[in-house]
Amino acid sequence: MIPDDVVSPLPSQRALGDLVTDVLREMITGGRFQPGQHLKETELADALKVSRGPIRQALARLEEEGHVELRRHRGAFVSTLTRTDVEEVHTLRGAIERLAAGRACTRMQGAGFAEMDEVLEQMKSVDTKIDPEDAVRLDLQFHDIIYAYCDHGRVQRVWESIRGQVTVFLRARNASFPDFLEVGYSEHKELRDALALGDPQAAQDGIDKHIVGAYERLKRLNLPDR
């Protein structure tokens, strides 16, 4: 048996459509495309040097994630961020993360909390020297741990389907309200301590409080209604 450490991890061999999905998602969430922009299959295929097949697969998935809108015989249009989207994403996230936390708090054991503490440690340092992109990354990383340990494939998938939009929201928030960086650490530390009680009810209450707080800040963003 050859240990995992020495095998070449290169031939990842994911489906081409999955790679295209990731690339396009990053381009959209990273602001490389304008909201409302018309993405044409042939253009994308030419640009990414693949055929239309994987492109269509990627666009279908991005539509499920809410990043593009697919209009029949018209093509894909980059979604515009609305107040309704923020509300939907956050209420849905609250619902599933509540479930995830209730399960995770009894499954994380030592390993999970160690991972969390590592992230928290980095958050503390971000609080001093501010890099918005790092803050977004750490925030997501913290919550990824909860979903990873909740041991629930379907919840994990729902999270993955809204994770990209959550990223967009966090970035937008950082751009408008840089003051949040100061509360990043303390709020997550509080949530971690709630989880550490190992009581599902306490974990769920912790999530409710955490998500509501995040939503309240986001609501102050100036967004179109729909």
Binding site for a second copy (CB under 8 A): 13, 15, 57, 60, 64, 66, 72, 88-89, 91-92, 94-96, 98-99, 103, 152-155, 157-158, 162
Residue pair 214/172 in contact by the 8 Å Cβ criterion: no
Residue type, 146: I
For DNA, the closer CB: 11 or 110: 11
Spatial distance between the Cα atoms of 23 and 186, rounded to a whole number of angstroms = 33
Residue pair 212/94 in contact by the 8 Å Cβ criterion: yes
Assess 184 for contact with DNA (CB under 7 A).
no
Q: How far is the CB of 33 from a second copy (least distance, A)?
A: 22
Q: Total number of residues binding DNA (CB under 7 A)?
A: 25
Residues 6+ apart with CB under 8 A from 6: none
Spatial distance between the Cα atoms of 78 and 33, rounded to a whole number of angstroms = 7
Among 51, 80, 84, 109, binds DNA (CB under 7 A): 51
Assess 23 for contact with DNA (CB under 7 A).
no
Q: Token pair of 5, please?
A: 């450490």
The item of DNA, a second copy, none sharing an interface with residue 226, based on CB under 5 to 8 Å by kind, is none
For DNA, the closer CB: 23 or 70: 70
Q: How far is the CB of 117 from a second copy (least distance, A)?
A: 27
DSSP 158-183: HHHHHHHHHHHHHHHHHHH-GGGHHH
Among 66, 75, 94, 200, binds DNA (CB under 7 A): 75
Among 2, 3, 4, 11, binds DNA (CB under 7 A): 11
Order of strands, edge to edge, in the sheet holding 38-39?
38-39, 75-78, 68-71
Binding site for DNA (CB under 7 A): 11, 13, 15-17, 38-42, 49-54, 56-57, 70-76
